[in-house]
Amino acid sequence: MATIEALAVAPEARGMRLGQQLLQRAEEQLRESGCRLLIADFEPSRTHLARYYAEAGFTLLPEGQPLHVGLPGGIIFPRPAHTDCRTSWKALSKEVTVQPGLMAQAPGQPPVPIPGGVLVGVPGAMPPS
């Protein structure tokens, strides 16, 4: 998995689709290197980012909803919710599946259901639905 930490287009060049092209290029390179999930967090008050990521094919979670990730080998990578944060994610592989309403665990223990969470992951990582 990869997360977008910082991405910007020069102010005078915005609105010319460069931002979308940057995302596409990043996705292609990540796919080639075996990455299967791309995550982008952003401040909900920056509403244009919701449009930006939605247009790029990301799934947007409601504000404050955490996204936990099932990794190969059955490991759950917890990503707790932060206040004033909205998470979006995009599968870079058809292997990635999503299970609403499930959450993660302590190391070595199976996932437990926690209302409101979302778990995405690859085969071998996901608990039976």
Residue 21 CA to its chain's centroid (Å)? 19
Contacting positions for ligand COA (CB under 6 A): 6-9, 14-20, 42, 48-49, 51-52, 55
Report in angstroms how near the CB of residue 8 gets to ligand COA at its nearest.
4
Yes or no: say if 68 and 78 are a contact pair by the CB < 8 Å rule: yes
Token representation of residue 57: 């094919």
Yes or no: say if 34 and 25 are a contact pair by the CB < 8 Å rule: no
DSSP 51-79: HHHHHTTPEEPPTT--EEEEETTTEEE--
Token representation of residue 119: 């778990």
Report in angstroms how near the CB of residue 66 gets to ligand COA at its nearest.
19
Q: Which is nearer to ligand COA, 14 or 101 (CB)?
A: 14
Q: Which residue is nearest to ligand COA (CB)?
A: 19
Report in angstroms how near the CB of residue 63 gets to ligand COA at its nearest.
16
Q: Which is nearer to ligand COA, 30 or 114 (CB)?
A: 30
Calculate the alpha carbon distances from 36 to 61, 64, 67, 89 in Å: 18, 23, 15, 11
Q: Which is nearer to ligand COA, 48 or 94 (CB)?
A: 48
Q: Which is nearer to ligand COA, 68 or 86 (CB)?
A: 86
Report in angstroms how near the CB of residue 16 gets to ligand COA at its nearest.
5
